[in-house]
Amino acid sequence: MDGKLIDRIRSAGRIAALTGAGISTASGIPDYRGPEGVWTRTPSAVNAFTLENFMADAAVRREFWRTYAGHSAWRAEPNAAHRALAELDGAGVAVRVLTQNVDGLHQRAGLAARKVLELHGTMHTTRCTRCPARFPTPEVLARVEAGDDDPACPRCGGILKLDVVLFGQMLDGEVLGHARNIAAASGLFLAIGSSLQVEPAASLCTMAAQAGATLVIVNRDPTPYDEDATFVLRDDIEAVVPELCAAVTS
């Protein structure tokens, strides 16, 4: 690993990691825009992830629920990259994870929930779009598997939706504001496994860099923010993230 990068890592102090789908592919969860990504193989699948379509079309909702009923994320286990970030916290390093993922693998790897900001929500809970009701998603999926392919809220009859941010839906303002504060206060900002094509999450890279953080992008493919980065690593995420984290604590 580059000696200059190691020096920057060791002097970073506070560390923030923005993680995207690429960090979970080694756990068996496909990404979206890669060569074998969900939307690369089936471009029409993006329609089910658009709020307007989801709310307006029962057929879209049925496709959405079928997709998540068999989603690989329910069987996935954290990989070495997830565990390495969690181990930083265990070693007493000031680390925060800002994740675009909804799979919950950072928490399952051992990182305290309060140290993970789920920018795009979580697949583990489902909420009603009409009333404040919220349910564990496995309960809703059990209804889907039993034949209720467009489950309605049992309290008010409203449309149920995973507690995730769909296209056309705003991020939670409080969560985004907290993420921006973390990015601006970081000494080292790692962007791991994200295409950095989805805003406003991707702009956290610029916010961190402008505040003086060392911006390190770890991703298989080029991103729109590569020119802003101090270092760009094209290495395998499951291999390089543990190396980066080990350099912090060595």
Is position 120 annotated as part of the catalytic site?
yes
Selected catalytic residue, list 82, 106, 120, 124: 120
From residue 142, alpha-carbon distances to 66, 68, 164, 176, 221 in Å are: 11, 11, 19, 32, 37
Residues 6+ apart with CB under 8 A from 223: 191, 194, 195, 196, 197, 202, 217
The whole-angstrom separation of Cα 198 and Cα 212 is 23
Alpha-helical (H) ranges within the chain are: 3-10, 38-41, 51-56, 58-69, 80-90, 105-108, 137-145, 173-185, 204-210, 237-249
Provide the annotated active-site residues.
120
